[in-house]
Amino acid sequence: MVNGPRPCSRFLHTVTLVGSNLFVFGGWSFGERLNDTWAFNLNRCTFAPRFHEPFLLDIPAVKSNPLWESYEPAPGDRKPPPRSGHVSVTTGDRIIVFVPLILALSRHYNVL
């Protein structure tokens, strides 16, 4: 169980792995496109295998204090516009967000 702040429920978002952090960006929640970024550090989690099989994880058996952190742009950088239905990839320590052309041409994505 995660204590403290966490991302709201959403869909059409991306989850991207950078190092040991899972980054959640954007998505759609309750009729609103989102542009928030959250990180979840996997090094803070210890998973206990179940049934002594190496690849079956019992998520309730997490033995740690997992934590979500909200990320804001560095001073002087702009926050990305709200996105949903996008694709994210990792290159080194950066995340690149792609918007499908069909969405980029719609009124919802007029800022690229």
Q: What is the pTM of this model?
A: 0.75
Contacts of 94 (CB under 8 A, 6+ apart): 18
- Write down the residue that tokens 């998520």 correspond to: 59
Inter-CA distances, 111 with 8, 15, 54, 73, Å: 24, 22, 46, 18
For residue range 28-81, list pLDDT tens digits in order: 999 999 999 999 988 887 665 555 555 555 555 555 677 899 998 889 988 888
Amino acid at residue number 105: L
Inter-CA distances, 86 with 28, 57, 105, Å: 11, 29, 13
Listed by start position, the domains of the chain span 14-109
